[in-house]
Amino acid sequence: MRIRELRSSDPVNTVLLFSISAVIGGLGWSGNPTLHFLALLYPFVYIHSRRRLDALSAVFYYAASTWPVIPGAQSFFQTGHHLAQPLLIWTSLTALCALPWILFYNRRFPSLSAIAALAVLAFRP
- What is the domain extent for residue 21? 10-122
In-domain check, residue 87: yes
How confident is the prediction for the chain on average, in pLDDT?
Answer: 91
List pLDDT tens digits, range 5-32: 545 678 899 999 999 999 999 999 999 9
Q: Is 3 inside any structural domain? A: no
CA dist., res. 119 & res. 111, Å (int): 12
Residue 75's alpha-carbon distances to 13, 15, 30, 90, in angstroms, are 38, 34, 19, 14
Q: How many domains does the chain have?
A: 1
Judge whether 78 lies within some domain. Answer: yes
* Range 59-74 average pLDDT: 94
Is residue 104 pLDDT above 90, yes or no? yes
* Higher-scoring residue by pLDDT: 125, 121: 121
Residues comprising the chain, all counted: 125
Quick: pLDDT tens for 35-50: 999 999 999 999 999 9
Does a structural domain hold residue 5? no
64 found inside a domain: yes
Distance CA 87, CA 68 (A): 11
Please indicate, yes or no, if residue 1 is contained in any of the structural domains.
Answer: no
